[in-house]
Amino acid sequence: EDFAQAHNNLGATFLRRDPPDYALAAGEFSAALEIDPSYLDARENLGLCRLRQGTIQGAMGDAEARRALYAQARSHFIRLLELAPDRFDAHHHLGYMDLQEQRWEAATTHLQRCLDLDPDNPYGHCNLGYAFLETARGERAIASFVAALSTDAATDVAIGARRNLGIAYEVCAKED
């Protein structure tokens, strides 16, 4: 078990590099899971590693690689929830991937569960607001963006929440 933690810690170090070394990180997280398949942090970290890789591949225009990496990430987050159903971060990551794949209702479900478990999560509020915005639920989007700003008004999430809050107000004005 100590070796599993050592592999997980080393993998986290590779993820924190600038730029991150995803291949080495994934190898270490996988090694930790070979030792202890129920090691929750290693499972989450491997999912997060694949999620970040997929997001980068998508930004570079490789939709097929993004889908494959997201599928790997999704399987790790689903397994994480099988082992620990109340891991808010797994719900958030699944909701984020659902947003990227324009699966609005699935995103809403995961993000609402994330916020049930961690009501002060600004990323959860902001992403939920975006899902509401995309499904023309302007009033709910406004409430989510305001909640994001009330929990974190000084970071990158606040910039997105402020921008999207303005869009949500415009959507509501058009609905009237």
Predicted confidence (pLDDT) per residue in 71-113, tens digit: 999 999 999 999 999 999 999 999 999 999 999 999 999 999 9
Q: Is the pLDDT of residue 7 over 80?
A: yes
Task: Indicate the DSSP class of residue 19.
Answer: S
Contact 131, 107 (CB under 8 A): yes
State the average pLDDT over residues 138-150. 93
Q: Is the pLDDT of residue 140 over 80?
A: yes
pLDDT computed for residue 158 by the predictor: 84
Q: Is the pLDDT of residue 153 over 80?
A: no
pLDDT computed for residue 43 by the predictor: 98
State the average pLDDT over residues 43-65. 95
State yes or no: cis peptide before 19, omega within 30 of 0: yes
pLDDT computed for residue 176 by the predictor: 64
pLDDT computed for residue 123 by the predictor: 93
pLDDT computed for residue 172 by the predictor: 85
Q: What count of other Cβ atoms lies within 10 Å of the Cβ of residue 82?
A: 11
Report the distance separating Cα 108 and Cα 115, nearest Å.
Answer: 10
Backbone angles phi, psi at 6, to 5 degrees: -65, -45
- The pLDDT confidence band at residue 152, using thresholds 50, 70 and 90, is confident
Report the distance separating Cα 57 and Cα 5, nearest Å.
Answer: 29
Q: What percent of the chain has pLDDT over 90?
A: 83
The amino acid at 32 = A
Report the distance separating Cα 121 and Cα 45, nearest Å.
Answer: 19
Task: Indicate the DSSP class of residue 96.
Answer: H
